[in-house]
Amino acid sequence: MKTRHPWLHGQLYSAEDDLTPEEMTRVAIAAAEALQGAQRAAQQLGAEWALIGGQALIAYGVPRITTDVDILAELAGEIALALVTGGWTALQFDLGTGDYTVTSEVTAHYMDDPVLFDIGAQRIMFPIRSPGGMIVELLTAQHPIETEMVELAMPRKVYGAQIPVAPLGGVLLVKVKADRPKDRAAVEQAADLRGERGRRRASLTPDGPHGRGTHAHRPGRRPARAGALGARPSGNRPTGRLAAVRGVDSRSDRHLR
């Protein structure tokens, strides 16, 4: 079965870029519930995972409006199965309606993703919906960089809970590869924010921007990378009762957020 799979969202709001204050509150509550549920399921499985996408940028203080949750994990399929067994809803993209529909079993969606072009693989993603109505897209960590993003994820406070968040460099790298207008805007926002923070730190340092009290880049010193490119690829593959939907998407429609 061939499907197109644009990034889709839940039924909590009118439009992602035009949320009312009430809708933003509902999205935040649903996102918090979804992340805490995913955290519990991953802990029970002993599975490492990382928050990516717009929610990760929010965790780093980048002002974004996003109405779904994107999770990267080597055992994405197992986490999805555990959550659906615990009361979440399995979803499948329906070409006819152009939206997600409820299905009886966790479904693996296969699609083109520019993040994986250099290793010649298709993205494997499991969409599910939390009891609070938040759509969560669990993506299997397939690229060595993605494996390292999961390994290097650090707990950050997200909606009041300590959630493992992928390194900012990795989150932005994914958006650079996606190269949609909204992704470019997110990268620019993150750069502006970090630049402003750097200027504020420098202004508080007697020695100026290259003083000993600031972390600003110094001449002759290589900036630190978010992560090396040589992490080992994962050998894990989802197991259990999984259906599969294979699809081919255009580069402009289907990317990591």
Q: Which domains does the chain have, with CATH numbers?
A: 21-167 (3.30.460.40)
The DSSP H or E segment spanning 246 is strand 243-246
pTM of the model: 0.72
Instruction: Give the 3-state DSSP-derived string for 39-104, with helices as H, strands as E and coil as C.
Output: HHHHHHHCCCEEEEHHHHHHHCCCCCCCCCEEEEECCHHHHHHHHHHCCCEEEEEECCCCEEEECC
Q: Are 63 and 194 in contact (CB under 8 A)?
A: no
> If pLDDT is split at 50, 70 and 90, which confidence band does 197 have?
low
Q: Are 92 and 43 in contact (CB under 8 A)?
A: no
> If pLDDT is split at 50, 70 and 90, which confidence band does 245 have?
low
CA angle at residue 49 from 4 to 130, to 5 degrees?
A: 60
Q: Are 7 and 66 in contact (CB under 8 A)?
A: no
Encode pLDDT of 107-153 as tens digits.
999 989 988 989 999 999 999 999 999 999 999 999 999 999 999 99
Encode pLDDT of 6-53 as tens digits.
333 434 433 455 678 888 888 899 999 999 999 999 999 999 999 999
